[in-house]
Amino acid sequence: MKQETKSKIKVIVQGADGKMGSAIIGAILKNSDFKLIPVSLTAPETIEKSVIIDGLSITLFTPSEMRHYIPSGFIYSFVPMGKRTPEKDIPDVIVDFTHPKAIEYNVDFYTKMGLPFVLGTTGGDLDFITTKVGEAGINAVVAPNMAGEIVAFQMMMDWLALNFPGLYKDYDLTITESHQKTKADTSGTAKAMVKTFNQLGTPFIQDQIEKKRTEDDYKRLGVPEEYWGGHGYHTYSLSKKDGSVDFSFSHNVRGREAYIAGTLNAIRYLYLKDVNGKVFSMTDVLQNK
């Protein structure tokens, strides 16, 4: 483990033009632990070349532009020659909240550049990411959910599954998850919980998860209108096949603050880790292992 330092952690947040990316940038700008490098990855079809967040202009670049600038260092390509300061402009940590389809492409880039990263974008192939990180000898935090409170709930359920396997073998399971319309993939948290409930005896597959993304869905679920653009509602319902017992577990997050706080903790955790080619989870972050 690296020693604690008063130096600011230099961070690039990918997806600055997205809701989660911009929210994390806003939090970083207000936190004295961090220094934001004002460049960010965007989608290939994006026309805009920059975005303003809390008065700061963030330069946006597409994947092809990012690859083009690798030989000279992609950070420096956006800094005038006379103002380039390599020791200040190389990021300590990359934070990725882009798009599920971009994960493997981005991870390949980060590992080739030797850049540790926090990946909050869901939907990636963990085996692929683990292999790439190991080959590169860097570290990463990869988590389908950055909210520490929810990760702790998952840990509790994992403990239950480990100690009481098959407990709910006589039960039917339904999983419902609701997020803002802009979330393209099925909740990574819900997917992870499927595995836990399988260990507990319920024959459920990820394709059975009910994904809610419409305003009518939000009304039925009771999501306050001000949070339609940013929320995470999850419900896991168990019913005994003979109709005699019901269980329901739920966690409903309104806004992005819980995810932002967890992401900042993951950045700090990763920054203090020695380079050894390992992928960490938010469980590791919570336990500070």
The mean pLDDT of 190-208, rounded to a whole number, is: 96
The mean pLDDT of 252-271, rounded to a whole number, is: 95
Q: 148-254, what's its fold? A: Dihydrodipicolinate Reductase; domain 2 (3.30.360)
| Angle between the N-to-C axes of helices 19-29 and 257-271, in degrees from 0 to 180, rounded to the nearest 10 | 60
* Phi and psi torsions of 202, nearest 5°: -90, 125
Which tokens go with 166?
């098959």
Asked if the model's pLDDT at residue 75 lies above 80, the reply is: no
pLDDT band at 73 (very low <50, low <70, confident <90, very high): very low
pLDDT band at 105 (very low <50, low <70, confident <90, very high): confident
Q: How high is the pLDDT of residue 99? A: 82
pLDDT band at 4 (very low <50, low <70, confident <90, very high): low
Residue with tokens 């000279």: 72
Catalytic one among 132, 183, 234, 273? 183
Q: How high is the pLDDT of residue 42? A: 83
| Whole-angstrom distance, CA of residue 160 vs CA of residue 92 | 37
Half-sphere exposure for 272 (CA within 13 Å, toward CB): 16
Q: What is the pLDDT of residues 200-237, one digit of tens each?
A: 999 999 999 999 999 999 999 999 999 999 999 999 99
Question: Read out DSSP for 25-46?
Answer: HHHHHT-TTEEE-SEEE--TT-
Asked if the model's pLDDT at residue 88 lies above 70, the reply is: no
The rounded Cα 226 to chain-centroid distance in angstroms is 23
Check: CB of residue 118 under 8 Å from CB of residue 95.
yes
The mean pLDDT of 249-255, rounded to a whole number, is: 96
Q: What percent of the chain has pLDDT over 90?
A: 64
| Whole-angstrom distance, CA of residue 19 vs CA of residue 120 | 13
Nearest to 34 by CA among 97, 152, 118: 118
pLDDT band at 67 (very low <50, low <70, confident <90, very high): low
Q: How high is the pLDDT of residue 128? A: 94
| Whole-angstrom distance, CA of residue 200 vs CA of residue 162 | 8
Beta pairing class for 171-179 and 231-240? antiparallel
| Whole-angstrom distance, CA of residue 200 vs CA of residue 216 | 33
pLDDT band at 2 (very low <50, low <70, confident <90, very high): low
**For the chain, domain boundaries:** 9-142+258-287, 148-254
Catalytic one among 35, 99, 179, 231? 179
Asked if the model's pLDDT at residue 95 lies above 80, the reply is: yes
Q: 9-142+258-287, what's its fold? A: Rossmann fold (3.40.50)
Please say if 179 is a catalytic residue: yes
